[in-house]
Amino acid sequence: MQNCPQARIFDNIISNTDFNADDNFRGIDIWSSVLTDVNCNDITNLGVGISFFDDCRNSQLRSNVITEFNRGVWLNGINGQGMINLVQGVQGTTNSAWDNEWIFNDPLNNTGQFKVDGLVIGGQPINWYHQDLDDPGITWSPNPWNGSMVLPDDQENTAGASCYDVLRLAGDSRIANFGTIVGDSATYGEYSDQLRYLGRSTTYAIMKIDSSIINVGDSLDVYFEAFYDQLDTSNSGVFYKIQSLIETIPDSALILIEAMVPENELEEKLLAFYQIYFDAFYTDDNLSSTDSAVVMEWTQGNIALSGNTHFYSLATMFEEKHPELISLRSSGTPSNSAENSLVYSNDNVEVFPNPADQNVTVKMANSSSVITKIQIINSMGKIVATYAPDNSTYLLNLKGIAPGLYFLKIYCLDTEYNKKIQIIR
């Protein structure tokens, strides 16, 4: 969640099957959002429980339970600093706690794991009220924390924190607070199984085209390799072979088609299309009335209903159609990028060494060209670091950035250069 002031994140269960200590695996990730309430969330087996990036001042945490983590609550940002409310609890004549908990299944073996980690903007400590003693073995206690970023106020009573937003008079009822919207009565078809299958098949095809994305030198390589191997021996792998053979060695493609056993409705339709292809198109014959009706039916609907058969059928019938939008159950908003008037050749800038470990140098070919800004962007389009060199050469510190593939945007006055770097350790 980015740039969402006064956001309310309540009553979510966020978990991973196995513990993954990678900082990129986060339960709740909040960027530059002030006055955020994070209440009654249950987060398990993720590297970071709750992350606050940059200025999220006056944000409050109530009754959250974070189990098995590397960083429980993490304040980070451009300069490694973040900000939340400097008082976590009810301050006054009767100080009381908001009952956040940090749980380790093995509390005696948590070396290097902080319940509260990072740096606070301005270096001020967070006054954290909690029940029981100030001790790492106490689930209510924010101990251990990084450096001096927390000033604990222990042995306080519970405030009986509610999961509901205290600023909304009607509790957690959106309709009572804001009224109804069109979506309350609208109904949408759900294609979760079909879209999952298509997503897996598309990812496999991308890996087949560019195998370099399978091995980037980090801890996730083994999962990418297992995924690739699984689909390579499945029907998705066979369909990829058929597509590559159908124009050059059609007899081999037909053998694969006739031997295949479909595993779902999308595969049944694609096999049926290939059968029609070989029965009619490949032999320069005309479609029968029955086949025409079947192919025309596949041109209706969307990719979730028919998969790639939908597009193949449109081409077969010489139909032009704009793809129908599908309302997914979960979606993301792509990051916005500013348009630049000119994009110059990347030969004008050098980036070395690449791959890199702790540092990488960005150098303009022309020493009179001044770099005004450098951004490091991950594969999801999120800016993970920004630098302001004001020089023709700059050494980037990569120590706080996880291994992986990243994009570099290098700004020099009114020009922009784009590079890729790989961080390995």
- Can you give the pLDDT at residue 176? 64
What lies within 8 Å, CB to CB, of 176 at 6+ separation is 170
pLDDT at 117: 94
Q: Of 333, 415, 421, 343, nearest to 377 (Cα)?
A: 421
Peptide bond into 355 cis (omega under 30): yes
Contact 1, 29 (CB under 8 A): yes
Q: Strand pairing of 8-10 and 37-39?
A: parallel
Please state, in angstroms and rounded to a whole number, the distance separating the CA atoms of residues 325 and 307.
14
User: In whole angstroms, what is the distance from residue 32 CA to residue 201 CA?
Assistant: 36
d(CA 88, CA 151): 10
Do the Cβ atoms of 422 and 355 come closer than 8 Å?
Answer: yes
The token pair at 365 is: 């070919």
Q: Are 377 and 407 in contact (CB under 8 A)?
A: yes
pLDDT of residue 75: 95
Under 8 Å CB-to-CB from 328, ≥6 apart: which residues? 195
* Pair of tokens at residue 118: 């990072």
Residues facing 393 on adjacent strands: 363
DSSP E strands, 32-167: 37-39, 42-55, 60-62, 65-76, 82-83, 87-88, 96-97, 101-103, 114-118, 126-129, 150-153, 157-158
At 323 the pLDDT is 66
C-alpha to C-alpha distance for 165 and 11, rounded to whole angstroms: 11
pTM above 0.85, yes or no: no
What digits encode the pLDDT tens for the residues 266-286?
999 999 998 888 887 666 677
CA 215/CA 208 separation, integer angstroms: 13
* Adjacency order of strands within the sheet including 8-10: 8-10, 37-39, 60-62
The band of 161, judged by pLDDT with boundaries at 50, 70 and 90, is low
Residue with tokens 């249950």: 42
Q: What is the pLDDT of residues 83-135, one digit of tens each?
A: 999 999 988 777 889 999 999 876 555 556 899 999 999 889 999 999 999 99
Contact 68, 39 (CB under 8 A): no
Domain 342-423: CATH superfamily, name plus number: SoxY domain (2.60.40.2470)
| Angle (nearest 5°) at CA 380 between 53 and 378 | 70
118 with 75: CB under 8 angstroms?
Answer: yes
Q: Show Cβ contacts of residue 411 under 8 Å, excluding neighbours closer than 6 positions.
A: 340, 371, 372, 373, 374, 375, 417
What string of DSSP letters covers 17-54? EEEE--TT-EEEEEES--S-EEES-EEEEEEEEEEEEE
At 178 the pLDDT is 65
Measured distance CA(43)–CA(420) in Å, rounded: 33
For the chain, the straight-line distance linking the first and the last C-alpha, in angstroms and rounded, comes to 29
Torsions phi, psi of 376, nearest 5? -105, 125
The amino acid at 214:
I
Q: What's the pLDDT tens digit per position in 336-353?
A: 434 443 444 567 889 999
Which residues, in sequence order, are bridge partners of residue 423?
356, 404
- For 13, residues 6+ apart whose C-beta sits below 8 A from its C-beta are 41, 42
Residues of the chain within CATH 2.60.40.2470 domain(s) are 342-423
Q: In the structure, what pLDDT confidence band is assigned to residue 162 with cuts at 50, 70 and 90?
A: low
292-300: Cβ within 8 A, 24+ apart: 298/269, 298/273
Q: Mean pLDDT score of the chain, rounded to an integer?
A: 83
Euclidean distance between CA atoms 80 and 123, whole angstroms: 12
Render pLDDT for 40-57 as a digit per residue (tens, 0 to 9): 899 999 999 999 999 999
